[in-house]
Amino acid sequence: PEGAYEVRLDPTHMVPMRDGVRLATDFYFPVDAEEPLPVVQIRTPYSKMPHRRENSAARFFASHGFAVAVQDMRGRYQSEGEYFVSRDDRRDGYDMVSWLAEQPWSNGRIGTYGCSYLGENQMQLAATRNPNHAAALPQAAGGSLRYFGVIFGGATELAASLGWFRGAGTKVFYRIPPGTPREVMLQVEEMINPAPNPGELDFRAAWRTLPYIDMLKAAGAPPTDFEAFVSHEPGDPWWDHIGYVNPNDRFDVPALHVNSWYDIGVSETLKLFNLLSDNAESDRARNNQFAIISPTDHCTSEIATSRTVVGERDLGDARLDYWNIYLRWFDHWLKDGEAGNFDMPRLQYYLMGANEWRTAESWPVEGTEFRPLYLHSGGNANTRAGDGRLSWDAPTADQPADVLAYDPDNPVPTLGGPVCCTGTAEAPAGGFDQSAVEDRDDVLVYTSEPLTEALEVTGPIELVLYVSSDARDTDFVGKLVDVHPDGTPINVQEGIQRARYREGYGRKVWMEESEVYEVRMDLQATANQFLPGHRIRVEVTSSSFPRWDRNLNTGGNNYDETEWVVARNSVHHAPGHESHVLLPIVPQQE
């Protein structure tokens, strides 16, 4: 919706933080609006300059009567200080909210807005409980739960890490010299791009770099924090100094969480939706956590169309009136003062397959039943032509295990999925035909009978496998697939579990060849209607490359290794070893 106000830009003011470091900030004001004004804060690592475009979110909110502050984060672009991913975002976010609240043109109620990194820093700020932080609107902010989206199941998100750190993670910028008069800075700032341009890259060759800790350097990237992130174990206390959200944090801010089913970290977004309510300091915060989950990929919910295609998957008309919702959200919390609870369903989610929006008041959705769907075979589940099947009945007699040979030199290729930030169309997000993957002998395929009625699978998904291996350590990868009546298999969700972390990140445990181990794998979350005539399928393998780094099967660090061994990995499904996928089944609505 078009705003009522013209917008005035007041560019590049250096705002001091508590340690004296100054952060470059642009201000957008609604012309002739009555002061004091409600304020929206946007803190970005990607430069404040693009927000000066006519169709930016900053100008949109300003045209509707908000003052908007867009800030280059510490050490980024025109801001002073040293950059380290996420490390200073609690303190700097808090200081900026306090500074904004003290300005004579501010009404003291500060909202925050932004997607991805711009959403994650909002969650870190929320954990500081600044009394002037009146409302948050974080989009795709799941990476704020500790690992910045770099680690999943103990594996490294390789394609996303190369794409993001190389394209956006530089620690080095060319800057206008300190002390330059502001009028000179304003003269030249739009002529200068302070960030290095890393140029073209053969991504496929770069992904295969070993040791992969050298991947960014081999790709000609500027200095980044990639090496620090991948060389620390997920259970290392080192991660504590970055200030990511943890389960003991307390919160006191209403938040509208937005994400999408084909984006990385959607499950973490829904965990944040619950955490900010469960750990709320007040009824106001507890009763005003909301979530909207679309079917799109990373930070694209608002541009869904009447025919929304994600990857190759046609998901129908996934539009929602986002911008009016966002305006109502900020109007309510920033303009109305002591407002009551926000009037909207607590959860709005797009049910893929049915291709329609649904609402609920909790996550998981009320009435959800978690039902195990069991893996069966005669020992030949390799490829989609094999004998793997899924049944609601557990195995009652011994069945031979299914065996795959995992060669790190020939990993199973990633084809779509909930990925982000890869920097190349060679590693896209979304739903794709998985036939080529399922024709490989190192992929085990288990398929149900055709459904006679629709089945809604909405919620967190867990794959429980009983496995063995002749390697000291290896990976197991699972994928939930919707098989259409013509046989086309479309990926829905996926996950990975590094075997050494099967008992948690607190310690590493190794495998012995003669033993069978339980591995519980997080398949994230989804909302998918399996329609009549469709079949449910689960793929099990030991790699998905380049999404995740290849486990070299040695029991070493992986990130600093160049040699590998082939692992012979088995999946068991017999009494006592009932491998299954635990599906969240939602009763059909009338």
277 closest CA partner among 259, 292, 290, 294:
290
376: annotated active-site residue: no
Q: Do 141 and 120 touch, CB atoms closer than 8 A?
A: yes
365 closest CA partner among 382, 381, 351, 384:
351
User: What is the token pair recorded at 68?
Assistant: 């908007």
Q: Give the CA angle between residues 54, 122, 58 to the nearest 5°.
A: 10
Task: Report DSSP state, residue 334.
Answer: I
Q: Could you say which of 92, 95, 252, 263 is catalytic?
A: 263
User: What is the token pair recorded at 581?
Assistant: 């996928």
294: annotated active-site residue: no
Helix (H, G, I), strand (E, B) or coil at 126: helix
405 forms bridges with which residues in the sheet? 568
User: What is the token pair recorded at 271?
Assistant: 């965990």
Query: Measuring CA to CA, how many Å separate 88 from each of 41, 94, 125, 232?
Result: 16, 10, 10, 19
What one-character-per-residue DSSP string does 281-334 give?
SSHHHHT-EEEEEESSSTT-GGG--SS-EEBTEE-------HHHHHHHHHIIII
How far does Cα 11 stand from its chain's mean position? 32
Residues 6+ apart with CB under 8 A from 576: none
Q: Could you say which of 64, 133, 298, 534 is catalytic?
A: 298
298: annotated active-site residue: yes
Q: Please report how the helices 117-126 and 89-102 are oriented relative to each other, as an axis angle in degrees rounded to 10.
A: 80
Distance (Å, rounded) from C-alpha 123 to C-alpha 248? Answer: 14
Host H or E run for residue 435? helix 435-438
**CB burial readout 307-334, b (16+ within 10 A) else e:** ebebbebebbebebebeebbbebbbbbb
15 closest CA partner among 73, 96, 128, 130:
96
Burial environment of residue 355 by CB neighbours within 10 A (0 to 12, 13 to 18, 19 or more): middle
Give the position of tokens 């893929």. 352
Whether the bond between 196 and the residue before it is cis, its omega within 30 degrees of 0, is: no
Helix (H, G, I), strand (E, B) or coil at 360: strand
Q: Could you say which of 116, 144, 277, 542 is catalytic?
A: 116
Distance (Å, rounded) from C-alpha 222 to C-alpha 245? Answer: 28
261 closest CA partner among 90, 500, 457, 433:
457
Query: Measuring CA to CA, how many Å separate 407 from each of 541, 544, 566?
Result: 11, 12, 5
Known catalytic residues are 116, 263, 298
